[in-house]
Amino acid sequence: MKIFYTLSIFLISTLAAKSQDRNTPSTPAGDVLPKLIKFYPNPATSFINFELQNTNEKDLNFQIYNFLGKKVYEVNNINSNSKTTVNLSDFYRGVYIFQLRDKSGKVVDSGKFQVSK
């Protein structure tokens, strides 16, 4: 019985580690991509700040989607090292997804945050 218990714990911990690896953005070669956006506070109540970290990209597009996939906020032509504060007074309570896209429309960073009112 101890062997079964030990093997079960090993299997569960291995599967949990692999699922965390899938949620980390990476290149086809397996290199982990650095996060380009720092956001706080999370969960947010009245506002949330998004800071673009050091990047060489220019003219980026920042979008926020609600959990149903409807675009609720957008800022065009963001440059590196910029900060955006989003007022959440028109946002409902729930989970939102943000995406940072380059000129061609490719998603270069994304994440999710929670609004709790």
pLDDT digits (tens, 9 = 90+) for 66-107: 999 999 999 988 876 778 899 999 999 999 999 999 888 999
Shared domain check, 39 and 19? no
Length of the chain: 117
**In 3-state terms, what secondary structure has residue 61?**
strand
Shared domain check, 105 and 78? yes
Task: Give the total number of structural domains in the chain.
Answer: 2
- CB neighbour class for 1 (10 Å; exposed up to 12, middle 13-18, buried from 19): exposed
| 8 Å CB contact between 98 and 55 | no
Report the C-alpha gap between 51 and 28 in whole angstroms.
Answer: 27
Shared domain check, 101 and 67? yes
Say whether pTM exceeds 0.75: no
Over residues 1-12, mean pLDDT: 55
Parent domain of 21: 1-29
Please identify which residue in the block is written with the tokens 């609004």.
115
